[in-house]
Amino acid sequence: MSKIGIDIEKAKQILQAVGLVAIPTETVYGLAANALDETAVLKIFEAKNRPHFDPLIIHTNSIEKIKHYVSSFPVWAEQLANAFWPGALTLLLPKKDLVPDLVTSGLPQVAVRIPNHPLTLQLLSNLDFPLAAPSANPFGYVSPTKAAHVAAQLQDKVDYILDGGTCEVGIESTIVGFEKDKVTVYRLGGIAIEDIEKIVGKVEIKINQSSNPLAPGMLKSHYAPLKPLFIDDINSFIKKNPTKKIGVISFNTTYPIDKKYLKVLSPSSDLKEAAHNLFAAIRELDSSDVEVIVAEKFPETFLGKAINDRLQRASVK
């Protein structure tokens, strides 16, 4: 089992020695390695069993550093960066040659962000390279929001886990790029579309589920538990499956089932709270003795869109 702690110097030394460190962010925990070292990046793919066609996000602690790795930083990117960094926003920008093609899956653009977590920002400020850091879990499974989740899933595949507590946002970053003269959203996430549009105006949404992704997090099946998960009207699903032991994920409503199998993500109807609790709820039900999980559709506004996106990718096809 990997050691868990808050030793930033230890994490730095491991990363400098081409090792893997799980890092906390405000979104989910990331599995980090030196983004400029192909040997280190390969270790990420191997530890996660992640296909090489799925690109990674690189993380650092300042816009000035990010400009070392991208060939342009246009006005729309400056506007969004100034509004939301550090934070749950990833920008897709043209890469410079020093970013390995392995990081971008051979694509000409690289996904970059500044995460909003004090421990990780301190670590990044002490490194002279950015970190490639997809979610710190086996590929396709539910993303981790606590250090213990990482330890349980990756065990000795990660050299050290930097413990930053429970992730505040709880779902991955929103990914934004530029295509056909339009600011384009490629992945829904912790920054709402409505808030992005306040900064840059109307955006294009291109979150098609793909087997050949243009950006991280676009694969058709992702974030999935081992137990089958369905999106349905919960009362109807319970009536249709009277003999099954069912786990329920609801927004703000209680249902007539055993309380240990009921996950109400926000009794106060707060979509940010629901997003924060989503992955932990899926994980808890998946590790219980339920046979199947059913989730209701969330309101299609603000972070509700991102919650629905994660549930859709996690659900039975």
Residues 6+ apart with CB under 8 A from 221: 140, 313, 317
Q: Which two tokens stand for residue 116?
A: 């909003």
* CA dist., res. 18 & res. 32, Å (int): 10
Domains along the chain with CATH numbers: 3-205 (3.90.870.10), 229-314 (3.40.50.11030)
Instruction: Supply the DSSP symbol for 208.
Output: -
Residue 131: phi, psi to the nearest 5?
Answer: -110, 125
Mean predicted confidence (pLDDT) in 53-72: 96
Burial of 83 (C-beta count, 10 Å sphere; 0-12/13-18/19+): middle
* CA dist., res. 173 & res. 26, Å (int): 9
Predicted confidence at residue 53, as pLDDT, reads 84
Q: Which two tokens stand for residue 124?
A: 């990044």
Predicted confidence at residue 2, as pLDDT, reads 77
Predicted confidence at residue 291, as pLDDT, reads 96
212 — pLDDT class (breaks 50, 70, 90) = low
317 — pLDDT class (breaks 50, 70, 90) = low
Residue 67: phi, psi to the nearest 5?
Answer: -65, -15
Statement: residue 245 has pLDDT above 80? yes
Predicted confidence at residue 216, as pLDDT, reads 72
Predicted confidence at residue 117, as pLDDT, reads 98
Q: 225, 314 in Cβ contact below 8 A?
A: yes
Statement: residue 218 has pLDDT above 90? no
Statement: residue 223 has pLDDT above 90? no
210 — pLDDT class (breaks 50, 70, 90) = low
**CA nearest to 287, candidates 314, 311, 261, 264:** 261
* CA dist., res. 273 & res. 253, Å (int): 14
Which of 66-70, 138-142, 229-233 is least confident?
A: 138-142
Statement: residue 62 has pLDDT above 70? yes
Predicted confidence at residue 221, as pLDDT, reads 61
- Give the tens place of pLDDT for each residue, 138-185: 988 999 999 999 999 999 999 999 999 999 999 999 999 999 889 999
* CA dist., res. 59 & res. 41, Å (int): 13
